[in-house]
Amino acid sequence: MIGILRTGGYVPPVVVDNTAIAEWSGVDEEWIRSRTGVFERRYGENDTAASDLAYAACIDLLGTDRAAWPRISGIIVATSTGDQPQPATAAILQDKLELYGVPAFDVNAVCAGYLFALNTAAGLLDRGLDREGAVLVVGVDMYSRILDRRDVRTVSLFGDGAGATLVGVVPEGYGITASRLSTDGRLHPLVGVPGGGSARPLDPGAWEAGEQFFRMDGRAVRDHVLSALPKLIEQVLGECGLAPKDLDRVIFHQANMRMIEAFIDALGVDPARVPVTAPRYGNTGAASIPITLHEAHLERPLRRGETILLAGVGGGISSGATVVKWY
C-alpha cells in the first residue's frame, strides 16, 4: 500500500489583508469578507519564485540535516504557476534540493493538481519505482503573479504558498484506499490564463487585452462543482464502504469559505472535522490541500488509523477525491 508518510508547508511573509484588496479593486471590505470568508492572503516577495516556496516546504518536511533525510525516489510538483514555461519547476526544485538523478516532473491540474500528483506518485511506486525510497509530492502556486488587482472576483480569493508530502510504502490496510480523478474538458474556458501559450502568444495586443491575467467564471464554476464533486465523493466513499459519518477529517481544496460551507452541507459532515486555512491564506491553488493537511496535523496530530478524505477541484474542470487511512 502507498500512503502519506510526512507533511510540510510554507507560506511567504507578505500579508495582504482586505484593506489592500479593497484599495486595489475599489470594492468595500465588508463585501469581500462576506462573499469570500477570506481575511488575509500571503504573497511571495518580488525576488521569490514558486520553486523557492516549494523548497521551503520540502525543508520543513525533511529538516535541515541532510544526513537524516530519507531516500528520495522522485519529485512531482503540482503547479499552474511554475517558475517559467520550461523546464519543469520540479527540475529546478531538484537542483535546489541537490537530489540529482531521480525523476522530477510537473503536473498541471490547476487547483486539483495535488490530488493528481499524489495519485501519480502512488501509481509509479506501485509500478516499480524505487520502493525503498519515497516520492516528494509538492503542491505550490503563486497566483499573486497572474492576478489583475482590479478584478475583485479573483484578487480577493488567491494567495501564494506551498505544501509538501512524502509519499511511500505503508503496511497493508493503511494508505490510499480509494481514489477518483475526473476532468470535463468541455468546461476548460471557465478557468485559466488565456495568453502566454502556443495558442495565444503574449504579443503587444494580448498584453493590452490583459490576457496575461488569470480569469474565472466563478458562478459557473460553483454551479458545476457543487453538482460534480459530491457525486465523485459519493463514488469514492462507496468503493471503501464508507459513509460521511465515518470520516475523521475532510481536507477540501480551500477555494473560499462559502464554497467549503456548501461542501460541508452537501456532504453532511461535522464542520469540526473539516480544517480550514482559507480565512488566513486564501486559495493557494495546488498548495491548498497539502497546506491544510499539514496545518491540521500540526494543530491536532493525525492518529494511526484515522480515515481522511482529500477532495478538490481545479481548472479544466478537473476534480479529485482520495481516501487515505493514516499511518
Say whether pLDDT at 129 is over 90.
Answer: no
Q: What digits encode the pLDDT tens for the residues 60-89?
A: 999 999 999 999 999 999 999 999 999 999
Q: What pLDDT was estimated at residue 130?
A: 79
Q: Which residues pair with residue 74 across a beta bridge?
A: 135
Span 125-146, average pLDDT: 93
Are the C-beta atoms of 115 and 181 separated by less than 8 Å? yes
Give the model's confidence band at 20: pLDDT under 50 very low, under 70 low, under 90 confident, else very high: very high
Which conformational region is residue 97 in: left (phi greater than 0), alpha (psi within -120 to 50 degrees), or beta? alpha
Q: What average pLDDT does the structure give for the chain?
A: 96
Q: What pLDDT was estimated at residue 85?
A: 95
283 an active-site residue? yes
d(CA 106, CA 137): 10
Domains recognised in the chain with CATH numbers = 2-173 (3.40.47.10), 176-325 (3.40.47.10)
Span 135-148, average pLDDT: 98
Q: Which of 18, 283, 294, 297 is catalytic?
A: 283
Say whether pLDDT at 318 is over 90.
Answer: yes
Calculate what percentage of the chain has a pLDDT beyond 70.
100
Q: What pLDDT was estimated at residue 13?
A: 96
- Residue 106: phi, psi to the nearest 5? -100, 155
Q: What pLDDT was estimated at residue 265?
A: 93
Give the model's confidence band at 38: pLDDT under 50 very low, under 70 low, under 90 confident, else very high: very high
Span 294-302, average pLDDT: 97
Q: What digits encode the pLDDT tens for the residues 204-218?
A: 998 988 889 999 998
Say whether pLDDT at 128 is over 90.
Answer: no
- Segment among 25-29, 53-57, 163-167 with least mean pLDDT: 25-29
Q: What pLDDT was estimated at residue 122?
A: 97
Give the model's confidence band at 157: pLDDT under 50 very low, under 70 low, under 90 confident, else very high: very high
Span 80-102, average pLDDT: 98
108 an active-site residue? no
Span 282-287, average pLDDT: 98
Q: What digits encode the pLDDT tens for the residues 216-270?
A: 998 899 899 898 999 999 999 999 999 999 999 999 999 999 999 999 999 999 9
- Residue 127: phi, psi to the nearest 5? -95, 10
46 an active-site residue? no
Q: Which of 18, 108, 111, 297 is catalytic?
A: 111
pTM value? 0.96
Q: Which of 119, 253, 256, 294 is catalytic?
A: 253
Say whether pLDDT at 49 is over 90.
Answer: yes
Say whether pLDDT at 178 is over 90.
Answer: yes
Q: Between these two residues, 206 and 121, which has the higher pLDDT value?
A: 121
- Dig out the grid coordinates for 48 from the structure: 521569490
